[in-house]
């Protein structure tokens, strides 16, 4: 099994989706993913998140329906662990299982990164300790964030570890729903 593919599927090159995965453009998506279908008036939108100074988001913007469909395809086929979900319709994800193996792979990735941390490099700015922090907080290796609230009262998105904590509590056949999706610049 390819650990990078299993724990961090966005590392795999896919030219069709490179514009949504490439960090050099400094844009990514925030996906609203919830356990219950969200009414459109409670969709995440460009004004939901705190933006500007002291924020993860320089600015946020709405996306077209075409970009929304492409973003959902990217989520299912390039961001989420392969085979863990099936897309039903345009906004419903059916959980297929696979978290036990995925967690094992994530823990192995954490151990590998922690082995790289030494007394000599722990204080390096983007060194081994930072790489360890990244694999803990963002096991899917994506610049996308996840808004896990069913209302628009939360003012921030989460990194992929929070999404996967929610996923790991699902039973096979349970569903998640995709609400609003916005673009953000960082």
pLDDT digits (tens, 9 = 90+) for 41-92: 999 999 999 888 878 888 899 999 999 999 999 999 999 999 999 999 999 9
- Bridge pairing between strands 145-147 and 59-61: unpaired
Q: Are 105 and 7 contacting, i.e. CB atoms less than 8 angstroms apart?
A: yes
pLDDT value for 24: 47
What is the b/e burial string over 114-125, where b = at least 16 CB atoms within 10 angstroms of the residue's CB? eeebeeeeeeee
Segments of the chain scoring below 70 in pLDDT: 1-24
Residues 6+ apart with CB under 8 A from 36: 150, 177
pLDDT value for 7: 52
pLDDT value for 151: 81
Question: Domain residues for 131?
Answer: 3-185
Which pTM does this prediction carry? Answer: 0.84
pLDDT value for 154: 85
- The total of structural domains in the chain comes to 1
What's the CA gap between 36 and 44, in Å, rounded? 14
């Amino acid at each position: 099994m390819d650990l990078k593919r299993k724990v961090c599927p966005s590392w795999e090159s896919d030219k069709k989706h490179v514009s949504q995965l490439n960090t050099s453009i400094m844009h990514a998506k925030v996906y609203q993913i919830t356990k219950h279908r969200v009414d459109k008036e409670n969709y995440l939108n460009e004004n939901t998140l705190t933006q500007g100074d002291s924020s993860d988001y320089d600015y946020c913007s709405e996306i077209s329906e075409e970009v929304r469909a492409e973003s959902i395809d990217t989520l299912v086929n390039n961001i989420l662990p392969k085979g863990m979900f099936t897309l039903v319709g345009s906004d419903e994800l059916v959980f297929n299982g696979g978290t036990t193996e995925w967690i094992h792979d994530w823990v192995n990735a954490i151990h590998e990164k922690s082995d790289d941390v030494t007394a000599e490099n722990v204080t390096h700015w983007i060194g081994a300790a930072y790489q360890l922090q990244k694999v803990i907080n963002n096991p899917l290796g994506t610049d996308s964030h996840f808004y896990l609230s069913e209302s628009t009262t939360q003012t921030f998105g989460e990194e992929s570890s929070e999404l996967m904590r929610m996923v790991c509590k699902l039973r096979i056949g349970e569903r998640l729903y995709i609400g609003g999706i916005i673009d953000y610049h960082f």
